[in-house]
């Protein structure tokens, strides 16, 4: 009989995932959800900003948007131009290792530049249950730091 051995970093990630799951189950309010996610993920990932966006079912309208840490100045743009909508619609995660050199979102980069916000890297993943799409979870890191890749977050 063999046993899988986890290296310390892996053990911490699994423990953090269990803590996050338990904490989310106990959440009563949206703001609490984002704060708990930011606190728990902050133990295993380095980032400045975390946000959760939930869309109304079968709609392009944002039902709610909460921040777990500091709130970025989000530029005014039609929802269809935002990576949040594209990610929600396609269910494809977004990973930008270096915001300054990446060429995926030229229009958004122009809008963000006007706000004066400096971004290093971005990870945005779809949030879903087995039965429906909910929205997205986003993490942004400061210039010079890179977030670890994430692929999907599924609830339920």
In a domain, 142, yes or no: yes
CATH at residue 135: 3.30.450.40
Range(s) of the domain holding residue 111: 46-154
What confidence category does residue 56 fall into, taking pLDDT thresholds of 50, 70 and 90? very high
Q: Is residue 41 part of a domain?
A: no
How many other CB atoms are there within 10 angstroms of residue 84's CB atom? 20
| 25 occurs within a structural domain | no
The answer to whether 68 and 35 have CB atoms below 8 angstroms apart is: yes
User: Is residue 57 in some structural domain?
Assistant: yes
pLDDT at 63 over 80: yes
Query: Is residue 77 included in any domain, yes or no?
Result: yes
pLDDT band at residue 35 under the 50/70/90 scheme: confident
Structure-model confidence comparison of residues 22 and 8, the more confident one? 22
Q: Look at residue 106 in the predicted model and tell me its pLDDT.
A: 85
What are the φ and ψ backbone dihedral angles of 74, each rounded to 5 degrees?
-85, 125
Number of domain units in the chain: 1
């Amino acid at each position: 009989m063999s046993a899988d051995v986890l290296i310390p970093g892996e053990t911490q990630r699994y423990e953090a995932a269990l803590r996050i799951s338990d904490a989310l189950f106990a959440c009563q309010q949206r703001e609490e959800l984002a704060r708990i996610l930011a606190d728990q993920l902050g133990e295993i990932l380095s980032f400045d900003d975390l946000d959760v966006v939930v869309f109304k079912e079968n709609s392009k309208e944002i039902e709610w948007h909460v921040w777990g840490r500091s709130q970025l100045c989000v530029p005014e743009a039609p929802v269809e131009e935002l990576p949040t909508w594209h990610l929600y619609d396609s269910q494809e995660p977004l990973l930008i290792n270096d915001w300054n050199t990446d060429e995926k979102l030229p229009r958004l980069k122009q809008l963000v530049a006007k706000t004066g916000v400096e971004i290093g890297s971005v990870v945005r993943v779809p949030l879903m249950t087995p039965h429906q799409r909910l929205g997205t979870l986003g993490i942004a890191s400061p210039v010079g730091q890179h977030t670890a890749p994430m692929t999907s977050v599924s609830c339920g």
